[in-house]
Structure 1
Amino acid sequence: MIVIAGKNNISVFGLERALRQFSPDEIAVVCNRNDTGVDGWQRSLRAAAQKYGVREISLEAAYEVASIAFISLEFDRIVVPGRFSISRVFNIHFSRLPEYKGMFTSVWPLLESRAEAGDWLLQQGADPERPNNKGTTPLMYAKDAYLAGRCRKTFQLLLRKGARLEAADHCGRALADYVTDEQFAQLRGAF
């Protein structure tokens, strides 16, 4: 049996992928404690399991019945791999654990200037100029780490991947509007 534990779109996607290879009676789910069984802006694993006829079990039961794989997709509980009789136990999150856990896990490595996180996202096709809901671009965030000398790689990587110094936020302000002339000359030198 394959057991999928977790929440939101990622766990529903995992369930739907498993259903391409296995019948519903060969799969079980363990839902996060806060899964209401109702789809919202994120899909509910509980609702998807009910829709597809997949049974929901407890984590304790999962330790006993998982015979093919246990896949944790943003699961809210600590899983003890040694309690499974199988070796295919996977814990998949959007960021490096335990450094970045909790809400908005994918953004913290970027805000803390971890270049490997930005590099990976850009390799996967992330838009280097896509602003957040306030219009702030990734380059506008990366400038602070660059100027402080904490991480120059992310800023340079964004430029290489097509981010423009001239890109404006929702207020019509560009990067040059947020720094001194001397700092902007330093940023232009990053090319």
Structure 2
Amino acid sequence: MPIIDSERILLRPFTLKDAPRVVELAGDKRVAETTLTIPHPYYEHSAIDWINTHQERAEQNECLIFAIEEKNNHELIGAVTLRLDDAHRRGELAYWLGVPYWGRGYVSESIKVVIEFGFNELELNRIYATVMKKNLGSIKVLRKNGFRYEGTFPQHDYKWGTYEDVDCYGLLREDYQKLVQFEQGEGRI
């Protein structure tokens, strides 16, 4: 499992020592209500079970699950996952961030380095993410990182007694490369 360093964050493997912090952050109802898979309430045994799956899933090239760690104080602040589909050279991005860290650019920074890793190191052709239509903050982060809206799945997921519309956003390798060139001043989109 790789460790990815960025300006303000470190993406690293989770350890069992992280379980109480996962419960504290992901257990916040505001985090759970806009994610597709995080339950509420979130118990420590669930966090331990989840963390215990990470190594095997990485070894089977199924997915890479990174802890987002704030570099200045080494605190766990969230998670970012890249689920891999080798047959189709694509990855599905998923993430969550603790409420105290919302609006500070941490998810955007995490996504940026994960998509760079996905396209450059894993040689993926496409990275996509599904997000509840009501999760405007997440949609903003995806767009900021070059993802394009691809469509809506009406009433696609059932969460807490309600059917939720889910939007799909995607980014192709060729579009990512154009974005990088534009950011580096080497060309225009």
TM-score range, shorter chain: under 0.3
TM-score (norm 2): 0.27
Structure with the bigger percentage of strand: 2
TM-score (norm 1): 0.27
**Radius of gyration: which is bigger?**
1
